[in-house]
Structure 1
Amino acid sequence: MRLTARDLEDFYASRLGETACYLLLKRVNDLWGDCAGRTILGMGYAHPLLAGLSANAKACMAVTPHHGKASYWSATDRGVSTCLAEEDRLPFADNTFDRVILLHAVEEADSPRQVLREAWRVLAPEGRALIMVANRKGLWSLAESNPFGHGRPWTRRQLIAWLNDHLFQVTASTTAVHPPPINFGPLMHMADGWERFGEALTPGLGGVVLVEAVKRLYAHPRGGAGAPVTEKAPGRKGVAQLPRNEADPGCAENL
């Protein structure tokens, strides 16, 4: 069963969740720097990160999928607008946002392909998307006590290949959140030390895979998969063709 927004908010209100958000936000700042004048969309449950970016951004919008009575959202941070919407039918016009963050938006989505397609649609040309997913190689994906232990985890290579097949050009990738997923106060105080240790010795084993990609307006040659053949088309008969020896010689002169 998919986690609700209330489940996710409860996690990010815990010490473990605050630590994960702190480490992820540092990565966002490293990649994007000052977002002054930018419009930012958060898909899935990116509200904790948007709260840290809203001070300088032109506008921040957080959207989460609606899951009936279990849906919940607490809009308490200034500068962040929130709404409930279907993740594969966002209520925004094309090319609306300069930046899009997908956090807890892909792992449990009914159609990850459509979620990514909607992110591409609302992203402005040359806009940047940052996709964050549970790392299949990390400890966090093995612990069901945190949101990254639910749904389908990814490797960095899988996520990069998937984005390249969906009209995105990958520009950066890394992993983050190296502390173990244990909600223990003294351990949380050493989060920066754990992160530096992980970056130096186990760079691919962070709990979260982050990939930044730029919106591309054309497909790579030979990119993507061909559509499967579901039924043979009936043979075509009676296609009109003009025999070569009956062609008007004057036509060739006029070409």
Structure 2
Amino acid sequence: MRRSIDDLRTFYGEPTGALVRRMLARRLDDAWGEAAGCDVLGIGYATPWLGGFVGARRVIAAMPGGQGAEQWAAAGRNRTVLVDDKRLPFAAGTFDRILLVHALEEADDPLALLTEAVRALAPAGRIILATAARGGLWARAETTPFGHGRPFTRSQLERLVREVGLEPAAWSQALYVPPWRPMLPLADGLEQIGRWVFPGAAGLIMLEASRQSYARVRPQGLAQAVLAARPSLTPAPVSGGAGHAARAGHPPMGAARKRP
């Protein structure tokens, strides 16, 4: 059973939730901060981050029925829709960017949900899955939304996206600070050293993926330079042939922003 919209709203209004908002926003801003002319869909509880996609043409928040919905306005109009996450009410190929947050962990059928998300993804579109990390302390903290449902490992997310015809392009982790209020002031410092000192302690894992048919074009010019310049946020591993992030033609998560 999904966490209710009231629980999620309350959590993200507290100091611990504010920290999560900031840490994930930093990663998303690096990856997709400029989305000029793009149609963007958030699935699950993504509204705390949807306002950060600069220049997007249209932004919609799809909230699963088991969770409930809240009003979220963009450009003065409500942009929230209550959905059946196994049958999204969008035409095929509608969205250039799709973000899933608090979506997969408590889904009755994660594969069915992701299949629907991919159906709504444009041919050259990109998708980011943000989920609780199985090995992190946040997945064990029932006082946070990450302590409910099924957490994931990176390899599990990679298998999941491949099952629906996507190819992993890049990945990242966040929330190295334990989910205890006295530790929150240390969050920024722990984010800097966490991936080197205790990578398995991250509370949040993010995987970016795109369609396989678009995973064979090697990047030129700036895209290659970005991959070399920002090794701290890692392209996905190679399963054969050239590296996924290179073949996708997109910078890895956390690379310098560039217009799509």
TM class by smaller structure: 0.7 to 0.9
Superposed displacement of residue 120, structure 1: 0.3
Q: Is the 8 A contact 1:170 1:211 kept in 2?
A: yes
Take 1:30 and 1:71, find their aligned partners in 2: how far apart are those partners?
30
Take 2:158 and 2:6, find their aligned partners in 1: how far apart are those partners?
30
Normalising by structure 1, report the TM-score.
Answer: 0.78
1:203 aligned to which of 199, 204, 215? 199
Take 1:202 and 1:63, find their aligned partners in 2: how far apart are those partners?
34
Q: Is the 8 A contact 1:126 1:216 kept in 2?
A: no
- Alignment correspondent of 2:136: 138
Map Cα deviations across residues 149-169 of structure 1 (whole Å, 9 max, x no partner).
000011111111221222001
Superposed displacement of residue 217, structure 1: 5.3
1:119 aligned to which of 117, 120, 125? 117
Q: Choose 1 or 2 for highest CA Rg.
A: 1
Take 1:43 and 1:71, find their aligned partners in 2: how far apart are those partners?
12
2:71 aligned to which of 71, 74, 78? 74
Map Cα deviations across residues 82-109 of structure 1 (whole Å, 9 max, x no partner).
1111111111111000000011110110
Gaps in structure 2 of 5+ consecutive residues = 215-260
Q: Is the 8 A contact 1:175 1:204 kept in 2?
A: no
- Alignment correspondent of 1:172: 170
Superposed, 1:1-255 pairs within 5 Å as 1-53=1-53, 55-67=54-66, 71-75=68-72, 78=75, 81-184=79-182, 187-216=183-212
Amino acid at match of 2:14: S
Gaps in structure 1 of 5+ consecutive residues = 219-255
Amino acid at match of 1:155: T
Take 1:48 and 1:98, find their aligned partners in 2: how far apart are those partners?
19
CA RMSD of aligned residues (A): 1.9
Number of residue pairs matched? 213
Take 2:80 and 2:190, find their aligned partners in 1: how far apart are those partners?
33
Q: Percent identity?
A: 41
Q: Is the 8 A contact 1:167 1:217 kept in 2?
A: no
- Alignment correspondent of 2:243: none
- Alignment correspondent of 2:221: none
SS at match of 1:52: coil
With over 3 angstroms needed to count, the CA separation of the structure-2 counterparts of 1:8 and 1:197, relative to structure 1, is same
Normalising by structure 2, report the TM-score.
Answer: 0.77
SS at match of 2:80: strand
Amino acid at match of 1:27: R
- Alignment correspondent of 1:229: none
Superposed displacement of residue 72, structure 1: 4.0
